[in-house]
Amino acid sequence: MATTYLDSLMSEREKVLVLARQHWFILFRSIILEITLIVIIFAATITISLIPSTAPFLPIIILVGLLLLIFPIITGTRDILLWANHQFIITNRRVMQITGVINKNVIDSSLEKVNDVKMQQSVFGRLFDYGDIQILTASELGINVFRRIDNPINFKTSMMNAKAALENGQVVFGENQPNIPSLIAQLAELRRQEVISEEEFQTKKAALLSKL
170: left (phi over 0), alpha (psi -120 to 50) or beta: beta
Instruction: Please tell me the distance from the alpha carbon of residue 17 to that of residue 171, in angstroms, as a whole number.
Output: 11
Evaluate if pTM is beyond 0.75: no
Instruction: Please tell me the distance from the alpha carbon of residue 123 to that of residue 15, in angstroms, as a whole number.
Output: 34
Instruction: Please tell me the distance from the alpha carbon of residue 118 to that of residue 152, in angstroms, as a whole number.
Output: 10
Decide: 149 and 25 in contact? Cβ < 8 Å: no
Decide: 152 and 30 in contact? Cβ < 8 Å: no
For the four alpha carbons of 91, 95, 100 and 102, in that order, the dihedral sign comes to negative
Average pLDDT, stretch 145-150? 92
Decide: 150 and 21 in contact? Cβ < 8 Å: yes
Average pLDDT, stretch 128-155? 84
110-120, pLDDT tens digit by residue? 888 888 889 99
What CATH number does domain 5-22+86-177 carry, 2.30.29.30, 2.40.10.170, 3.30.930.10, 3.30.420.40?
A: 2.30.29.30
39-89, pLDDT tens digit by residue? 999 999 999 989 988 888 889 999 999 999 999 999 999 999 999 999 999
